Amino acid sequence: MKINKQIRALYQPIQPTIKRADKKVTYQEFIPNTFLQEYIYCYWQLKTTEKLSSQFNYKVVSDGCIDILFEINTPQESFVAGFCKKYTEFLLNNEFNYVGVRFLPTMFTQIFNIDASDLSNMFQNLDDFVPKTSQFIKDHFHHELTTNEIKNIFDQYFTQLITKVDFNNDNRLYNAVHIILKNQGVLHVVNDIDVGVSPRQLQRLFKFYIGDTPKTFSKVVQFQNILKAKPTTQSLQQNKLFYDIGYYDQSHFIKDFKNFYGVTPSKAFTR
């Protein structure tokens, strides 16, 4: 899928989940094999290195992707997290070891033939949507696995699964996604995306394959590019970054950022 190779090249979703102060919690991402990289952005693991004194508040920012995840100590329960148009918080136990698969935009729908809008802004039991994958996780994962063993199990499973999938490479959809990513989400959706379909048809495509409208996806891409720029509080104030990324006033920029991240830019980028 040459088109989706372009998506990966243009889009690297960031999850700034762990603060430096959280010394007893680690988060790491590991890359799938070469064949899978145009479908799956990463595998990831979030775990405690020792027991915490209290529950852990885990925040997920908007990244435009769909994830499969589960606690490796209880793999009989697995979940799917859909496209979210605002940040999400989860209160975890004081000991945990979560493992996940982050699919590039459109790929979960392509692989499993699931309407992405059925998952949007929700956290669902995977067994209700993809029972075979849920059963595979239950049968093959346990807490003694190393990171490399987790990666190899995922690689083998998804390679076999994806080689059997008949992908619908709709150029109208992927050309629109490419335009949004190329412009870093800073564009007028109706005027700047001309891919041979009406705005209403394009909305239907995006809702089915991504989980929300082209406008919402563009906003998330715009937000993710702010994270990628790694601004400091000082640079935000002095360089007026919000102008460069398509905002006309600071208050609108702060409102959108807080919706996607959960805190203001000044708090998010405090050094």
Task: Write a three-state SS string for 152-220.
Answer: HHHHHHHHHHHCCCCCCCCHHHHHHHHHHHHCCCCCCHHHHCCCCCCHHHHHHHHHHHCCCCHHHHHHH
Residues 125 and 189 in one domain: no
User: Which of 162, 196, 231 is the last residue in one of the domains?
Assistant: 162
pLDDT of amino acid 197? 92
Residue 116 shares a structural domain with residue 136: yes
Residue 199 sits in the same domain as residue 260: yes
Q: Determine the pLDDT at residue 18.
A: 66
**Among 130, 145, 162, where does a domain finish?**
162
Do 137 and 233 lie in one domain? The reply is no
The reported pLDDT for the residue numbered 270 is: 72
Whole-number pLDDT of residue 72: 98
Residue type, 190: V
Crossing angle of helices 250-261 and 214-229, in 10° steps, is 90
| Stretches in the chain below the pLDDT threshold 70 | 1-5, 17-21, 233, 235-242, 271
Pairing mode, if any, of strands 66-71 and 78-81?
Answer: antiparallel
Do 124 and 35 belong to one domain? yes
Same domain? 48 vs 142: yes
Domain containing residue 105: 2-162
Q: Please tell me the predicted confidence (pLDDT) of residue 191.
A: 87
pLDDT for residue 136: 98
**Dihedral Cα 102, 108, 112, 113, nearest 10 deg:** 170
CA dihedral 22, 23, 26, 28 (to 10 degrees): 90
Q: Which of 155, 64, 76 is nearest to 108 (CA)?
A: 64
Instruction: Write down the pLDDT at residue 3.
Output: 55
* pTM for the whole structure: 0.93
Domain count, the chain: 2
> What does the pLDDT read at residue 238?
64
User: How far is the C-alpha of 105 from the C-alpha of 249, rounded, in Å?
Assistant: 29
